[in-house]
Amino acid sequence: MTALTQRDAQVAYDRQSPPEDDYRLAERADELLAQYMDDPAMVAEADEYIQGSQHCSHYDAMESALADLHTKDPADLLGSDLLRTLYRLAAVQHAARKARLSDMAHDQAERELRECGAWEDA
C-alpha cells in the first residue's frame, strides 16, 4: 500500500461516525419507521414511489387474482388457493412499501443527526 492510499484509508476511517452515532441513527430510524407505518400520508408517498416497481409477472398475477376474487363467494375464500395467492402478492407489496418507508426514515434520521450533531438523551 502506498503512502497516499494509506493516508486516504486513515482519513476515511477518521471520518466514520462513532459507534454511538450509528446506534442512535439506527434507533431513531426505527422509531421513525414505526411512525411512518401508521401515517397514511407517508404510506401514500411510499406507495407512489414504489408504484410500478415490481416485475410485470407480479402485476399480471395481481390482476388475475383480483379478477378471480370478484367471482369467488366470500364463504369459499378461507383456505383457498386464491386467498394464499392474494396474501403472497400482498407480502411482496408490503415488503416494498416497508423498504421505502425504511429508506425515508433513515434519510430523515440522518438529517436530524447532522442538524443536531447528536440526539439528546431522553
pLDDT in tens, 86-114: 999 999 999 999 999 999 999 999 999 88
121 within a domain of the structure (yes/no): no
CA distance 85 to 66: 10
Contact between residue 58 and residue 92 where contact means Cβ atoms under 8 Å apart: yes
pLDDT, tens digit, 9 for 90 and up, residues 36-73: 999 999 999 999 999 989 999 999 999 999 999 999 99
**pLDDT: which is higher, 118 or 82:** 82
**Confidence (pLDDT) at 121:** 47
What angle in degrees, to the nearest 10, is found between the helix axes of 81-116 and 40-50? 110
Q: Is the pLDDT of residue 15 over 80?
A: no
Q: Is the pLDDT of residue 122 over 50?
A: no
The confidence band for 3, taking pLDDT boundaries of 50, 70 and 90, is low
49 within a domain of the structure (yes/no): yes
**pLDDT: which is higher, 15 or 52:** 52
112 within a domain of the structure (yes/no): yes
- Give, in degrees to the nearest 5, the angle at Cα 91 between 53 and 93: 25
CA distance 117 to 122: 15
81 within a domain of the structure (yes/no): yes
**Confidence (pLDDT) at 22:** 82
Domain count, the chain: 1
Q: Which domain holds residue 42?
A: 3-116
Contact between residue 105 and residue 11 where contact means Cβ atoms under 8 Å apart: no
93 within a domain of the structure (yes/no): yes
82 within a domain of the structure (yes/no): yes
**Confidence (pLDDT) at 115:** 85
122 within a domain of the structure (yes/no): no
Q: Is the pLDDT of residue 118 over 60?
A: no
